[in-house]
A = this chain, B = another copy of it.
Amino acid sequence: MYSYPRALRKLIGELEKLPGIGTHTATRLAFHLLDKSQQEIEELAGALTGFQQNISFCSQCHNITEEDPCQICSSPKRDQSLLCVVESPRDVIAMENTGEYKGFYHVLQGLISPLDDVGPEELTLDNFRERVRELQVREVIIATDPSTEGDATALYLKKILQKKDVKITRLAQGLPAGGDLEYADEVTLSRALSGRSEIEYD
């Protein structure tokens, strides 16, 4: 049966391996790339081959970085007494984008998930215990996802910190900004209700 030239099939096959990209999208991407100049292709291929060598994980916070320790861990402007625990480097960026947080981070590189066979030993917890001690942390902010895995991990972190003189907090759960109460799911709404805050009289 007739099909695309081998080199094109090979590229489609490679693109299909990427998450969320099926045969149709891979084919569309391959044809798009076929129209590009050799230089543009080289740039994409170059960005691919180069990027892993230049990225490693910070030995302190386990965030991705080009230098070790990373930009945040080596910053003298950060508040040593605050440690925000997140699942992944993407969560660090999300927190940084708020512009509100000035402490350190600890990237767990995962969440406890018995269904996916991820136990506490897969996470960067040994290092977390050390850092809590060394940095003389006053408050650990647990910023794991508001999901079953995030909750399980938060509970585990609570157990680790027990009997240490450290305040533990967790990101508030409630209605998202700009959201619509009418369309909020029951869990979100009941959490918003139980986490309600008092409005003080002037």
A residues sitting closer than 8 Å to B (CB atoms) are 1-8, 10-11, 13-15, 17-20, 25, 27-34, 38, 40-55, 64-66, 71-72, 88-90, 92-93, 96, 99
Instruction: Note all chain B residues with C-beta closer than 8 A to A71.
Output: 2
Say yes or no: A4-B93 contact (C-beta < 8 A), given A28-B20, A32-B18, A43-B14. yes
In the assembled complex, the CB of A20 is this many whole angstroms from the nearest CB of chain B, namely: 7
**Copies of this chain assembled into the complex:** 2
- The answer to whether A7 and B50 have CB atoms under 8 Å apart is yes
Closest residue of chain B to A71, judged by CB?
B2
CA distance A49 to B46 in the complex (A): 9
- The answer to whether A90 and B14 have CB atoms under 8 Å apart is no
Say yes or no: A72-B41 contact (C-beta < 8 A), given A8-B64, A18-B32. no
Closest residue of chain B to A67, judged by CB?
B5
Majority DSSP secondary structure for residues of A touching B: helix
Say yes or no: A66-B7 contact (C-beta < 8 A), given A20-B25, A48-B33, A48-B41. yes
- The answer to whether B27 and A90 have CB atoms under 8 Å apart is yes
- The answer to whether B41 and A7 have CB atoms under 8 Å apart is no
Instruction: Note all chain B residues with C-beta closer than 8 A to A20.
Output: 25, 28
Say yes or no: A96-B41 contact (C-beta < 8 A), given A7-B66, A50-B7. no
